[in-house]
Amino acid sequence: MITTRIWRQLENIDWDFSEHLLGSSKAIHWYPGTFPSEVPGTLIQALSAQDDLIFDPYGGIGTTALESLRQGRRAWLVEGNPVGCIISYVSAGLLLLKSVDPSLPAILVASLRSIIESNKNDNLTVQLRIKEDNVGKDIDNILAKLIQPTPKQLYNAFSCEPNWESLAKWVEPQTLINLRKLHYSIKTTPLGNFGKLAGLVMTSAILRPASSQTQSWGHIADNVLPKSFESKDIYKLCNNWLSRTQNIIVKTQVTSSPGNEKRFWLSLHSWQKRKLPKIKPSIEVNVLLTSPPYAGAIDYTLAQRLSLYLLGHSEDNVKTLCSMEIGARRKRFLPASQANWVSDMVHALSQQVTYLSSNASLAFVLPHKDAGREAGPVGIEAYLRSIDCSKLMEVERSIRQGRARQSWTSIKKEIIQIYGF
C-alpha cells in the first residue's frame, strides 16, 4: 500500500533526471527510445516491496527489469524484438551473477577478452585457458535456477548462422572476415551458453560502429547503404565494449544473492499476435510498469537491422517483425494510424491486466499531449476506468536531450501516470 508520505515524495521528485543516479543501471547496448533508468527505478522503489513481481510488457532492452532485479524484486519482460530480448537477457544475467558472486561477471569478461586476443593474434592456444576453468558451465547452472528460459534454451533459439550476405552490404570485406572469425570462435569456444549469448551481444553492440554507414542509425533503419567501405578495428571495438560493460556492472548496486528461485522471466512475444506469451511466471504481478511505443515515432526493428542480420534474419524477416510493431514509424502514413495505435495498445492492455494481482499498481510513461499523441493516454485511461482502475497521479517530465536517444523526434515531454485498483 502506498502511504501519503510516499505520494508526497513522488510529487516532489524532479522527473527530468538530468543527472545519472549513482548505483542505477545503464545500457550495455545501444537502443533507440529508451528512458533513463532513474524513472522505473524510482517508481519500483515507491510502488513495490522486496520480492514483488514487476511486469514490463514492452520491455525493450530491459531497463525496467534491471532496476527491478537490482532492488531485490522479480521481473517479467515481454518484448517482440529479438535484439531487445537477447540484450535484456544478458544484462539481467550479469546483474544476477553479481548478486550471487561479484567476481563472476569479471571472469566472463576475461574469457571474452581471451577470445578477442586469440583472434587478433591468430593464436588459438589462448582459448585453452577457458577450457580449463570450466566456469561457463558453472555460470549456466547458476542462471538456470534464476532465469526462464535457461541459458541453454535461449542460446539454442538464437544460435542461427548470421546473414553474412546482407551484412556484406554494410561492412568492409576484411572487417567482415574478422567478424566471421570472431563469431566462429565465440560459437566454438567452451564459454557456456550464457557466455556465448554475451559474446553475441558484444558482437551485436559493435556492428553499427563497425559498419561503413557512419552518418546515423537512421540511415541504417532507412536502408541507406554506405557509399564507400571503410576498414574498422573490431578487436578494439570489442575491448572497448567489454571495458564499458564491466565498468557498468561494477558501478551498478545490486542486492545480495537471490537464492535458487526464479527472479527473471523473458518472453519473445508481440502483442499484435493477439495470443498470450508462452513464457510467464506462475505468480501474480504486483506492478505493471512500462512505456508503450509512441505512434509513428520509432522503427525499433529497422534501427537494429544489422543486429538482426547477425541473429540470422533475412530482409523479409526484418520486414515481418517491423509490421508486428505497435505504432511503428513506418505505419504513420497509413489511414487511421493513430486510431489503430490506440486500439492495439488497449487490446494488449486488456490481456496484460489478466496477470495482475487484485491490488496491483500500474505505471505508464507516455507521450505528452504537446507531441500530438494524446489519444494514447486518453485511451488507456478510459479502458482502465472501465475496469474500476483509478488514476492516482500524473506528472510531467522533460526529455533532457543530453540523455535522450530520441532527440531527433518532436517528442520533448512525457507524462507519467500511476493507476491502482
pLDDT, one tens digit per residue, over 343-353 is 999 999 999 99
Residue 398 pairs in a beta bridge with: 413
Task: Say if residue 40's pLDDT is above 90.
Answer: yes
| DSSP state at residue 23 | T
User: Does 391 map to a domain?
Assistant: no
pLDDT, one tens digit per residue, over 205-256 is 999 999 999 888 889 999 999 999 999 999 999 999 999 999 999 999 998 7
3-state secondary structure of 341: helix
Position 62 scores a pLDDT of 97
**Closest Cα to residue 414, out of 375, 373, 384?**
373
Position 124 scores a pLDDT of 54
Mean pLDDT, the chain, whole residue set: 91
Task: Say if residue 386's pLDDT is above 70.
Answer: yes
pTM of the predicted model as reported, rounded to 2 decimal places: 0.94
SS (H, E, C) 28-57: CCCCCCCCCCHHHHHHHHHHCCCCCEEEEC
Q: What is the rounded distance in angstroms from the CA atom of residue 169 to the CA atom of residue 356?
A: 46
User: Does 348 map to a domain?
Assistant: no
Q: What is the rounded distance in angstroms from the CA atom of residue 210 to the CA atom of residue 330?
A: 26
The CA-to-CA distance between both ends of the chain, in Å, stands at 11
User: Does 393 map to a domain?
Assistant: no
Asked whether the beta carbons of 42 and 25 are under 8 A apart, the reply is no
User: Does 390 map to a domain?
Assistant: no
User: Does 409 map to a domain?
Assistant: no
Asked whether the beta carbons of 418 and 290 are under 8 A apart, the reply is no
Position 401 scores a pLDDT of 55
pLDDT, one tens digit per residue, over 168-190 is 999 999 999 999 999 999 999 88
Position 407 scores a pLDDT of 45
Q: How confident is the model at residue 260 (pLDDT cuts 50, 70, 90)?
A: confident
Q: How confident is the model at residue 403 (pLDDT cuts 50, 70, 90)?
A: very low
Position 408 scores a pLDDT of 45
Q: What is the rounded distance in angstroms from the CA atom of residue 142 to the CA atom of residue 126?
A: 26
pLDDT, one tens digit per residue, over 15-38 is 888 788 889 999 999 998 888 999
User: Does 53 map to a domain?
Assistant: yes
Position 258 scores a pLDDT of 67
Position 123 scores a pLDDT of 61
**Closest Cα to residue 93, out of 156, 147, 53, 26?**
147
User: Does 226 map to a domain?
Assistant: yes
pLDDT, one tens digit per residue, over 128-160 is 455 545 788 999 999 999 999 999 999 999 999
Residue predicted with more confidence, 255 or 103: 103
Give percent above pLDDT 90 in the chain.
72
Instruction: List C-alpha distances in Å: 19 to 35, 130, 244, 399, 403.
Output: 13, 39, 19, 12, 9
Give me the DSSP letters along 134-156. Answer: -HHHHHHHHHHHHEES-HHHHHH
Position 70 scores a pLDDT of 95
User: Does 418 map to a domain?
Assistant: no
Task: Say if residue 267's pLDDT is above 90.
Answer: yes
- The count of structural domains within the chain is 1
Q: How confident is the model at residue 52 (pLDDT cuts 50, 70, 90)?
A: very high
3-state secondary structure of 8: helix
Helix pair angle (82-100, 104-120), 10° resolution: 120
Asked whether the beta carbons of 142 and 290 are under 8 A apart, the reply is no
By residue range, what is the domain housing residue 228?
A: 22-269+292-343
Give me the DSSP letters along 190-225. Answer: ---HHHHHHHHHHHHHHHHHHSS--S-HHHHHTT--
Position 8 scores a pLDDT of 78
Task: Supply 355's cell numbers.
Answer: 496477470
**Number of neighbours of residue 140 by Cβ within 10 angstroms:** 21
SS3 content of the chain, % helix, strand, coil (to 5): 50, 10, 35
Asked whether the beta carbons of 48 and 124 are under 8 A apart, the reply is no
Q: What is the rounded distance in angstroms from the CA atom of residue 165 to the CA atom of residue 159?
A: 17
Chain mean position to CA 403: 17
pLDDT, one tens digit per residue, over 271-290 is 988 789 999 999 999 999 99
